[in-house]
Amino acid sequence: MTRLHGLICICGLAVALTAAEANAASAATFYVSPAGKDTNACTEPALPCKTVAQAVTDSEAVAGTATIQLAAGLYEESIYLARPGDDGLAINGVGAATKIQPPASATEPTVRLDTPGSALTLSNLSVVNISGNKEDGIDSDSQATLDNVTVEMLNPASSHGIEQEEIGSLTMNGGGVTMASGSEGSAITSELDPVTLQGVTVTVANGSQAKGLESEFAPASITNTNFVLGNTAEAGIETTAGPVTVTNVTVTDGGEKEPGIGFAFGQPLSINGVQVTMTNAKSTNPGVVLEYDSGATIDGLTVGGTWAGPALESVLGNFTLRDSRLINAPASTSPAALLEGGSEGPGLFAQRSVFETGPTASGALQSVDNGVTLDSSEVLGGKDGIEFEQQGGKERVLTVSASTIDAGNLGVADPAGVAGVELLAGEDNSVANANIVGSIVLEPQIAKLEAGGQAATINCRYSDTPSQTQAQTSTEGAVACAAGAEGNASSEPTSLFSEPLTSYQLSPSSSALDSVPAGAISLPSGFTPSSTDLAGNPRSEGVACRALQDKGALELPGHGTACPTPPAPPIAPAPAAKPLVGALSALTISPSAFFAAPSGATISAVTASKKKYGAKISYRDSQAAMTTFTVLLETSGRKQGKSCKKPSSKNKHGKRCTLLVKVGSFTHADTTGANSLHFSGRIKGKKLPSGTYELQAIAHDAAGNSATISKSFKVE
């Protein structure tokens, strides 16, 4: 080897060693254990430090990022990260067994991340703020990421579980925050800084006056997160002035002080798959509050429980509500939805949604100085189904399209004093108009003028309502809902609906079937009518070669007749061939056991991406036809003769048998050969309960009905 060659090799080795040392320094790991010693080097698992503080000091002396690995055990100290060298630091434990708890004399937060702009990560840790320490559990002005970190606030003070402030962001993946009895403040709070929660559980115990999440002037994203609020808690979620997205979130609110969730000035605000359950009978607060949230979109919102307030309240907002259920307690005297304020724009657009309250409430849906458009929806209960009042010299419109309104006691046409729609035009020449199209309204309509009101007019087209005509006077508005005019009818509930009448499913002999030309359905403000009904069934079917739909919120599936294709002229006279009845085969459900979707239509097209809920239904049809799928629940019955009947005194000695009870049905237009669709596990707009079911399929075509085929499945 020449001397030059040797120098080159030695230099190359030196460069390689330097690079290796730099890489090691950039990814240094320090180990900590309650059984360790702070005099150890801390760089080997067998020679750990005793305290997190010592490991932090050692890590700050190393260039690049570092990781501090904590063994299981109790660390009675506070963590304070405040130097530039802490940027990129990760502190990892082994789960709930790794507990960080301040000493009794501590006057600082248990964990303080005081390095603005730096990225810091805590994972698999339990952070405890003991009784007597009146500071936050975690206080951060960094870019903080908490992975599977739990925070338990045992101090009866107004401090927060996690406070994100000044410059930075907060991201939580898993874990959660618990506010013990006597605590106040918020479980999680942020001002100006973005907050992202994914898979988090927030608990406010009985006796705590804390909020769940409070976010101000910052983006907030909340996904797959649960809020459980005790009897003295404040709001579960409260956001102000920032883009907000809330997806697949549950809020169980046992408090009486605040709404379940509240949003103000959300720009934009998106809510999808949120369930709010109000459990305090003394509470008169709304389940959901929207304040000045113009342009909000809400899909799959469910609000219910046993409380005395409205399910939803909106102040000065324009928003869209789809596939939602706002249902008050039966004894409630509050509206399911209360819209207030004088907002400019279309107001509420509700599609495929239900508004329900008790029969003694003043109204199920109350709107003051807001426009309202309902499509394929139900409004149930209240002395008035809809109260629509206009003041302040404005003209606004209520549109009720392809919907069902049943005020008062459900399933019956109530006596005088109960109204389906009550219109009121007030001071300063205000105008209130209502257009009822393709709908069913069981109770009469009322139009009134207050002193200073200009006009109040209710018009009905292609609807089934009590027959009414009324000219406007100085105190009464105009009503044009005469039976026989404009496609209107006036029917009794027993002739409209199948039993039970409160299902609002049309009877096969109902005059409301195929009575509305699809072209008659037109919505204001550029809104598009729904192509499906409240239960997810197709809205329009071909009847006598015209596109028609049923009145009301629910379409009766399977009764339409497709327009035939004109046959080609035969080449030579031949005897007409008798059409053959089609046949179904190869029915499969994959998977055979699945979870029902929390929201959405009954069926949809099969896509390449795997769906979290529901199952794929596949089968073959020998020819184009309309197939009806019937879902039957397997229950326990007893033999009575050769039949399986519901258990009763008549068959108490009969052998046990499996009794199939019809839950509902849906249809699919088949092509010849292979067919497939996605079944969500929802029928009539509701999730199927857990249980074992049978799916029966029968095809209908010009030649008749096919033989029935069936397959079992399970909803978990």
Question: Band of the pLDDT at 581, cuts 50, 70, 90?
Answer: confident
CA dihedral 603, 609, 613, 614 (to 10 degrees): 40
pLDDT of residue 9: 34
Fill in the amino acid letter for 85.
G
- Gap between the Cα atoms of 362 and 48, Å rounded: 69
Question: Band of the pLDDT at 137, cuts 50, 70, 90?
Answer: very high
The residues facing 276 across adjacent strands are: 251, 303
Assigned token pair, 268: 């934009």
Query: Which CATH architecture is the domain 584-715 placed in?
Result: Sandwich (2.60)
> Of 9-23, 98-112, 131-145, where does mean pLDDT reach its minimum?
9-23
HEC per residue, 201-222: EEEECCCCCCEEEEEECCCEEE
Q: Residue range 428-446: average pLDDT? A: 96
Give the tens place of pLDDT for each residue, 184-239: 999 999 999 999 999 999 999 999 999 999 999 999 999 999 999 999 999 999 99
Cα distances from 405 to residues 193, 194, 420, in angstroms, run 45, 42, 6
pLDDT of residue 412: 94
* Confidence check: pLDDT of 242 > 60: yes
- Gap between the Cα atoms of 321 and 302, Å rounded: 11
Secondary structure (DSSP) of 150-216 = EEEE---SS--SEEE-SS-EEEEES-EEEE-TT--SEEEEEESS-EEEES-EEEE-TT---EEEEEE
Domain ranges of the chain: 584-715
CA-based end-to-end distance of the chain: 75
- Closest among 479, 449, 448, 475 to 465, alpha carbons compared: 479
Burial 92-126 (b: 16+ CB within 10 A, else e): bbeeeebbbbbeeebeebbbbbbbeebbbbbbbbb
- Closest among 411, 403, 412, 402 to 365, alpha carbons compared: 403
Quick count: other Cβ atoms within 10 Å of Cβ 684? 19
pLDDT of residue 12: 41
Assigned token pair, 364: 């199920």
* Dihedral sign (CA 702, 704, 708, 714): positive
Give the tens place of pLDDT for each residue, 518-558: 889 999 999 999 999 999 999 876 655 568 899 999 999 87
User: Between these two residues, 314 and 134, which has the higher pLDDT value?
Assistant: 314
* Confidence check: pLDDT of 341 > 90: no
Give the tens place of pLDDT for each residue, 644-653: 888 888 888 8
CB distance 549 to 579 below 8 Å: no
* Confidence check: pLDDT of 19 > 50: no
- Gap between the Cα atoms of 473 and 460, Å rounded: 19
Give the tens place of pLDDT for each residue, 654-712: 888 988 899 999 999 899 999 999 999 999 889 999 999 999 999 988 788 888 899 99
* Confidence check: pLDDT of 26 > 70: no
